[in-house]
C-alpha cells in the first residue's frame, strides 16, 4: 500500500522504494516498511548513530547546553533535507536515511580527528568513506547494516570539503535526487549552525559577518536557513526537477559565508589551537594500539579480525566519542595513585 502511494504521489524524478537497486546481501523484506524506511530505522537504532551525541561538531567539548554536536548537526541536516524533499515530492524516507547516516564515520574531535587519522593511517582517511565502511562492515559486530544501494551511494557522496557546493564531477554526484538534496542540506545546516555557535561562543561578532552575505541571506539564523531552503525549492521547481538548483545570487552568498567561516572560525587560532592537543591524543592512541595488539584486542570489539592491525585501530579510534578518547588516553598515559586494599 505504501509503495503504491509513492507511485501516485512522488514526482517523476523521485526514487521509488519499489524500484530500489537492492542490497548487497539477500534479505527478507519488511512486511510493514518500504526498503528506505527500513534503512532509516536500521541507522537510527545503530550504536554509531548514538555515539554522535558525544562527538564534536565545531567547538571542542562545549560546556553550554545549546552548542551543536555531531548528532544535533545530523538531525538538522535531516530536517532541512526532508523539508526540501517534501516540497519537491521526492522520497522522504530515502532522504532521511541518507541524512541520518551521512556522518556515522566521523572521528572524535571533528575534522581535526579526521586530518590526524588521514596522516597516520597509511591508506588515508576520509569520513565519508568511513561512514560507508561503518554501514557496510563495522556495525552489528562486523555484519554491517546491509543498506540499499541508494542509501549507501548518498552517504558516500555527501561530502564537499572546500569543493563547490554542487559538484561538476559526475563521480561525486549522487545517483538519486534525494542524495543530492542531502549534500545541499548538509552545507545549509552547518553554515548556519556553525555561525550561530561561533557567535554564541564569542569567536566572532555579528558585525563581522560580510554585509553582502547578510543582505542576501538575512540577518538572523532562521532567516538565513529559510532563504537558502526556499531558494533551492523554487529554483529546482522552475527547472525540470531532474537535478537540484540554487540561484546564482544565493549560491554566491553561500560560498562567501563558507569562506568566512573557514577563515574566521574553523582555522582561527582560538579554535584550532585546542584541536592540536586532540590530535596529539589520537596520535598517541594510534601508536599505542598498533604497538600493543594484545591490549587492543582486549578493548576493541574486534569486528574485523581479518584486517591488518592498522586498519582495525583506525576503525576503533574513528568510532570513539570525544570523552572516550580522552578517557582511554588518560588511562594509558596518566599514572594512577598507589592504593592498598
Output the pLDDT for position 339.
Answer: 64
Q: Give the largest Cα separation in the chain, rounded.
A: 76
CA 1 to chain centre: 32
At 142, list the grid cell: 562486523
Domains along the chain? Answer: 2-17+34-272 (1.10.3210.10)
pLDDT value at position 300?
A: 87
> What does pTM read for this prediction?
0.95
- Cα(286)–Cα(121) distance, rounded to whole angstroms? 9
Mean pLDDT split into 10-residue runs, the chain, 341 residues: 96 96 95 97 98 89 81 97 97 98 95 94 96 96 96 91 78 94 96 95 94 97 97 92 91 96 87 83 96 91 86 96 95 80 59
Amino acid at each position: 500500500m505504501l509503495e503504491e502511494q509513492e507511485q501516485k504521489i512522488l514526482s517523476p524524478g523521485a526514487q521509488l522504494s519499489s524500484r530500489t537497486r537492492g542490497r548487497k546481501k539477500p534479505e527478507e523484506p519488511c512486511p510493514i516498511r518500504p526498503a528506505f524506511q527500513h534503512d532509516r530505522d536500521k541507522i537510527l537504532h545503530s550504536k554509531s548513530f548514538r555515539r554522535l551525541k558525544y562527538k564534536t561538531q565545531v567547538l571542542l567539548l562545549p560546556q553550554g547546553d545549546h552548542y551543536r554536536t555531531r548528532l544535533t548537526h545530523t538531525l538538522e541536516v535531516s530536517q532541512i533535507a526532508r523539508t526540501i524533499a517534501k516540497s519537491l515530492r521526492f522520497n522522504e524516507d530515502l532522504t532521511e536515511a541518507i541524512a541520518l547516516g551521512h556522518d556515522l564515520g566521523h572521528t572524535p574531535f571533528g575534522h581535526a580527528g579526521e586530518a590526524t587519522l588521514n596522516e597516520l593511517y597509511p591508506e588515508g582517511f576520509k569520513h565519508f568513506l568511513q561512514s560507508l565502511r561503518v554501514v557496510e562492515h563495522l556495525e552489528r559486530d562486523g555484519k554491517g547494516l546491509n543498506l540499499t544501494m541508494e542509501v549507501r551511494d548518498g552517504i558516500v557522496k555527501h561530502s564537499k570539503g572546500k569543493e563547490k557546493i554542487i559538484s561538476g564531477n559526475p563521480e561525486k554526484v549522487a545517483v538519486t535526487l534525494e542524495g543530492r538534496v542531502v549534500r545541499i542540506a548538509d552545507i545549509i545546516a552547518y553554515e548556519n549552525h556553525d555561525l550561530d555557535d561561533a557567535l554564541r561562543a564569542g569567536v566572532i561578532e555579528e558585525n563581522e559577518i560580510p554585509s553582502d552575505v547578510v543582505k542576501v541571506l538575512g540577518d538572523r539564523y532562521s532567516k538565513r536557513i529559510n532563504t537558502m531552503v526556499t531558494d533551492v525549492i523554487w529554483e529546482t521547481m522552475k527547472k525540470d526537477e531532474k537535478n537540484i538548483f540554487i540561484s546564482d545570487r544565493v549560491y554566491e552568498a553561500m560560498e562567501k559565508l563558507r569562506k568566512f567561516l573557514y577563515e574566521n572560525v574553523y582555522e582561527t587560532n582560538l579554535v584550532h589551537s585546542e584541536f592540536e592537543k586532540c590530535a596529539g591524543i589520537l596520535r598517541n592512541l594510534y601508536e599505542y594500539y598498533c604497538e600493543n595488539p594484545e591490549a587492543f584486542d582486549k578493548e576493541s570489539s574486534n569486528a574485523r579480525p581479518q584486517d591488518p592491525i592498522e586498519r582495525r585501530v583506525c576503525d576503533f579510534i574513528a568510532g570513539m566519542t570525544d570523552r572516550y578518547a580522552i578517557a582511554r588516553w588518560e588511562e594509558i598515559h596518566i599514572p594512577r595513585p598507589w592504593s592498598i586494599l
